[in-house]
């Protein structure tokens, strides 16, 4: 199955929650820090607890690159672990790459060929030639940053162009004209729900990765309601801290599962009511 086929199958099962594996050694429970490889052990226990109910896992490269060779080893082992447990789950390499063509080609090669991810996240502000190498990989979904969930999104993404259009809206229209729907993903933050309501129709034709749910303030149920009301089913809601750090006690892995199931119920209650 390619990435888009996996997505379609997951959506049919009512699975929309992406578990963000932003693993911070300082935040993992003390009981895990006693193990010989706490970094990987934490990921392993979280994955094994949540694997049956997750739609996707997103590994933010910064949390792994900051540990050098050890971090890259854990990154690779975590991808291999997820793949060994379930072939149909999506694995997103959250590196937010974006550079000139030759450099992007190497970034894409690392993410897809070397590390085996299904999907990437990429930044669009160096233009189409910086994105093209990722889209040369057939069967992969590339999530392009459109409107992010951080406060700094106001600095550039919402700047008005000479025609009065917000910059992020122009980005969205351009990438939709450049790439096929079965490869095109967008990152659209949920911290300001009014933006999602305003732009939901324009997001059609893309697979939307929605950050900002949970610790950043967004509501999974409200996000799902907007998508379902618009007849848009291809979306993933990412939750990182709320799931993986749901508990600091021995029950942290089962607590992560419980939090994931809570989000699943919020989303599916909406889908059944719309």
pLDDT computed for residue 212 by the predictor: 77
pLDDT computed for residue 67 by the predictor: 96
pLDDT computed for residue 272 by the predictor: 54
pLDDT computed for residue 191 by the predictor: 75
Question: pLDDT of the chain along its 274 residues, tens only?
Answer: 999 999 999 999 999 999 999 999 999 999 999 899 999 999 999 999 999 999 999 999 999 999 999 999 999 999 999 999 999 999 999 999 999 999 999 999 999 999 999 999 999 999 999 999 999 999 999 999 999 988 898 999 999 999 999 999 999 999 999 999 999 999 998 777 888 999 999 999 999 999 977 655 568 899 999 999 999 999 999 999 999 999 999 999 999 999 999 999 999 987 655 5
pLDDT computed for residue 59 by the predictor: 98
The 3-state secondary structure of the chain reads CCHHHHHHHHHHCCCCEEEECCCCCCCCCHHHHCCCCHHHHHHHHHHHHHCCCCCEEEEECHHHHCCHHHHHHHHHHHHHHHHHHCCCCEEEEEEEECCCHHHHHHHHHHHHHHCCCCEEEECCCCCHHHHHHHHCCCCCEEEEEEECCCHHHHCCCCCECCCCCEHHHHHHHHHHHHCCCCCEEEEECCCCHHHHHHHHHHHCCCEEEECCECCCCECHHHHHHHHHHCCCCCEEEEECHHHHCCCCCCCHHHHHHHHHHHHHHHHHHHHHHC
pLDDT computed for residue 203 by the predictor: 97
pLDDT computed for residue 219 by the predictor: 84
State the catalytic residues.
96
**Hey, what domains does the chain have and what are their CATH numbers?**
3-273 (3.20.20.70)
């Amino acid at each position: 199955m390619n990435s888009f086929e996996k997505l379609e199958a997951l959506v049919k099962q009512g699975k929309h929650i992406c578990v963000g594996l932003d693993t911070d050694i300082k935040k993992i429970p003390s009981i895990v820090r006693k193990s010989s490889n706490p970094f990987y052990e934490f990921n392993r226990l979280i994955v094994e607890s949540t694997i049956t109910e997750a739609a996707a896992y997103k590994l933010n490269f910064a949390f792994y690159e900051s540990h050098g060779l050890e971090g890259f080893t854990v990154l690779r082992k975590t991808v291999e672990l997820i793949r060994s447990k379930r072939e149909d789950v999506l694995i997103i390499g959250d590196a937010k790459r974006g550079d000139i063509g030759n450099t992007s080609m190497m970034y894409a090669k690392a993410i897809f060929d070397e590390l085996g991810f299904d999907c990437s996240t990429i930044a669009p502000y160096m233009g189409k030639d910086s994105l093209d190498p990722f889209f040369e990989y057939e069967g992969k979904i590339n999530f392009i940053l459109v409107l992010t969930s951080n406060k700094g999104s106001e600095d550039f993404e919402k700047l008005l162009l000479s025609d009065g259009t917000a910059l992020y809206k122009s980005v969205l229209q351009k990438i939709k004209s450049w790439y096929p729907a079965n490869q095109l993903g967008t990152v659209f933050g949920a911290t300001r729900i009014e933006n999602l309501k305003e732009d939901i129709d324009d997001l059609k034709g893309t697979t939307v990765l929605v950050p900002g749910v949970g610790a950043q303030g967004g509501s999974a149920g409200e996000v799902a309601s907007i998508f379902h009301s618009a007849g848009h089913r291809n979306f993933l809601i990412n939750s990182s801290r709320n799931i993986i750090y749901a508990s600091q006690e021995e029950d942290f892995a089962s607590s992560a599962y419980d939090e994931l199931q809570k989000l699943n119920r919020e989303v599916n209650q909406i889908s059944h009511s719309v």
